[in-house]
């Protein structure tokens, strides 16, 4: 997995209570992306994606639009060192 990348995203807006985490889990599974997603106390959703660069970019793009019912206002994205995660968890 030497060409893998890792991105952390924090999604702001109306993003809790709209199945954002479960939708992200399903999208990550389809793309073979590892990582996790969680609701934050401040109302945002935070996620980490690891895997193929194109697949991770697709996950970031998913977060920029969100699932049906979400109203994404802002997405903060940062690069991080790859940790070699496997699987995808909803926290």
Just list the catalytic residues: 21, 39
| Cα(68)–Cα(8) distance, integer angstroms | 22
Phi, psi of 15 (to 5 degrees): -125, 0
Beta pairing, strands 34-39 & 88-90:
parallel
CB 36 within 8 A of CB 90: yes
């Amino acid at each position: 997995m030497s060409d893998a990348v890792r991105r952390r995203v924090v999604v702001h807006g109306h993003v809790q209570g709209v199945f954002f985490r479960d939708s992200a889990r399903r999208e990550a599974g389809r793309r073979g992306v590892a990582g996790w997603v969680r609701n934050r106390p401040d109302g945002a959703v935070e996620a980490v994606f690891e895997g193929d660069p194109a697949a991770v970019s697709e996950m970031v793009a998913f977060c920029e639009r969100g699932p049906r019912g979400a109203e994404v206002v802002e997405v903060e994205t940062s690069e991080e060192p790859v940790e070699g995660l496997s699987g995808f968890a909803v926290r």
